Amino acid sequence: MTMFANRHEAGRSLAAGLAHLGGQDLVVLGLPRGGVPVAAEVARDLGAPLDVIVVRKLGVPFQPELAMGAIGEGDVRVLDADMVANLGITDAALRAVEQRERGILEDRVEALRRGRPRVPLRGRIAVIVDDGIATGATARAACEVARRLGAARIVLAAPVAPAGTTAEQFSADELVCCAMPLGFRAVGNHYRDFEPTTDDEVIALLDAARSDQWRGHGPVSTEPGHELATDVDIVLERGVVLRGHLDVPAGAGGVVVFAHGSGSSRLSPRNQYVAGQLRAAGLGTLLLDLLTPEEEGDRDLVFDIPLLGSRLARVGGWVMSRPEAASARLGYFGASTGAGAALWAAAEPESQVAAVVSRGGRPDLAGDRLPWVKAPTLLVVGGADTTVLDLNRRAQARLQCPSRLVVVPGATHLFEERGALEQVAGLAADWFGGHLLDRQPHPERHLR
């Protein structure tokens, strides 16, 4: 059975199947929420704009998880007429379900687009992406929305769908799937990590796409004042090539390397958001995968802190050898298990790192190396993440370097609560600004 590590890996696999569309005038449209991380990888690899098509399933009144149809933007409605008739669903019951779902749909559109205009589809290829196709009701509605918005051609794409699925079922011009297994049961059965995607993650991915963070390969022009923004392949040894995205504002006095946690990638919307705030503060960033695509599915490697830490240390040396970082100081930002790798690397005798920040991290995983860390270290933990908070307190007690533990009140492990991630970004900008750029911190960000 085909199995993907997570939605990001599935997106990379799907992008390979869509490579024939490269260079054409297309828009990649993710179905919120779970389809957007998959679509983000496709958009990045194809160098295409990323947007969403918001649709809502119409659930059977007495069995809401069973789709009898779907609605989409622009008053689109798709119904399974046979199901409606066979189940005896009345017009009044159907109207009640649609009215409720239409209100939710409009709220979702407003929340995700945040007043931004839809990416125009007229005359272009619409590539509609979901994390998998089951009943297909929402995919049909999305294809109909794209058709009404003037798309010249519609390509429906998903990592997995039931055997026998065809483009004609959705009124699409083309269907692209990585796998179409017999005996298909559920989309989630084909993912090791199928954690729900949040609205904040969708928004962060859309923001990153609009700022051209992944538009194409090689050097690209971003906003004025940038010296370099490029996808990079970092060769450590034969067969080990790490993928990253390096973005260095002109004259940056510091560069921060991001080490993400298990089940995530360099396209983590939370890390991308924080990285954007650091660049706004005048710092360069490197969003990095410490494992190759072939290694990501090995859970032993995901938690191999000495391996991850040693790779991060070598990447830090690579960053410092770059001409655009010649006068910069080095920082590490670690999330979850990435924090353990960051502190492991910072404890290397010849480490050049000047500051470390941990977001909801596991600094305890650096173990006996903690007392050897010299770089000033900031530990940021959610107040509701009690187990990790206790681990951070114990780890801080072992640190001999200047350190600070900040608790964001009410925040959980992923800082999904309103305003929580913004507080993390502000704290990180202050910490790195003070230790890499010699700036004074903002007192209002010093939470307890």
Q: What is the pLDDT of residues 307-355, one digit of tens each?
A: 999 999 999 999 988 877 778 999 999 998 999 999 999 999 989 999 9
Q: Is 385 in the same domain as 309?
A: yes
3-state DSSP assignment of residue 94: helix
Segment 423-432, tens digit of pLDDT = 999 999 999 9
| Number of domains present in the structure of the chain | 2
Is a pLDDT exceeding 80 seen at residue 442? Answer: no
Same domain, yes or no, for 142 and 236? no
Look up residue 160 and give its two tokens.
């997995």
The reply to whether 126 and 257 lie within a common domain is: no
Encoded tokens for 76: 């689109």
Residue 140 within a domain = yes
Interval 373-407: pLDDT, tens: 999 999 999 999 999 999 999 999 999 999 999 99
Name the band, by pLDDT with cuts 50, 70 and 90, for residue 201: confident
Q: According to the model, what pLDDT value does residue 211 have?
A: 59
pLDDT of 218 higher than 60 = no
The pLDDT, as a whole number, for residue 263 is: 61
Average pLDDT over the chain reads 86
196 and 97: one domain?
Answer: yes
> Strand order in 284-288's β-sheet?
226-237, 240-249, 284-288, 254-259, 329-335, 353-359, 377-382, 403-408
Kindly indicate the confidence band of residue 245, based on its pLDDT and cuts at 50, 70 and 90: confident
> Is 208 inside any structural domain?
no
Q: Is the pLDDT assigned to residue 215 strictly greater than 70? A: no
Q: What is the pLDDT of residue 250?
A: 75
CATH number at residue 423: 3.40.50.1820
Q: Give, in order, the Cα–Cα distances in Å from 313 to each of 111, 198, 272, 422.
A: 40, 32, 21, 28
Residues 322, 184 within the same domain: no
Mean pLDDT of 47-58: 89
**What whole-number distance in Å separates Cα of residue 118 and Cα of residue 164?**
33
389 in a domain, yes or no? yes
Could you say which of 200, 235, 265 is where a domain stops?
200
The reply to whether 70 and 150 lie within a common domain is yes
Residue 76 pLDDT: 79
Calculate Rg over the CA atoms of the chain: 23
DSSP for 233-295 reads: EEEEETTEEEEEEEEEETT-SEEEEEE--TT--TT-HHHHHHHHHHHHTT-EEEEE-SS-TTT
Q: What is the pLDDT of residue 444?
A: 46
- In whole angstroms, give the CA distance from residue 314 to residue 181: 41
SS3 content of the chain, % helix, strand, coil (to 5): 40, 25, 35
Which whole number is the average pLDDT over 242-252? Answer: 83
In a domain, 143, yes or no: yes
- The reply to whether 83 falls in a domain is yes
- The domain of 387 spans 213-445
Residues 250 and 302 in one domain: yes
Do residue 285 and residue 196 come from a single domain?
no
**Residue 240 pLDDT:** 84
- Nearest by Cα to 69 from 90, 88, 55: 55
Report strand pairing: 226-237 vs 240-249: antiparallel
Q: Are residues 249 and 174 in the same domain?
A: no
Q: 430 in a domain, yes or no?
A: yes
pLDDT computed for residue 310 by the predictor: 94
Q: 1 in a domain, yes or no?
A: no
Judge if 82 and 127 occupy the same domain.
Answer: yes
Among the candidates 157, 178, 200, a domain finishes at: 200
> Over 80: is that where the pLDDT of 265 sits?
no
Alpha helices in 68-222 (DSSP H): 81-86, 91-113, 137-148, 199-210
Q: Are residues 106 and 245 in the same domain?
A: no
Residue at which a domain ends, from 155, 174, 200:
200
> Whole-angstrom Cα distance, residue 13 to residue 9?
6
Both 18 and 95 in one domain: the answer is yes
Please calculate the CA angle 229-235-236 and round it to the nearest 5 degrees: 130
Residue 140 sits in a domain of what CATH number? 3.40.50.2020
CA 138, CA 136: separation in Å to the nearest integer?
6
Candidate from 6-20, 109-123, 204-218, 387-401 with smallest mean pLDDT: 204-218
* pLDDT (0 to 100) of residue 238: 66
Do the beta carbons of residue 347 and residue 372 sit within 8 Å?
yes
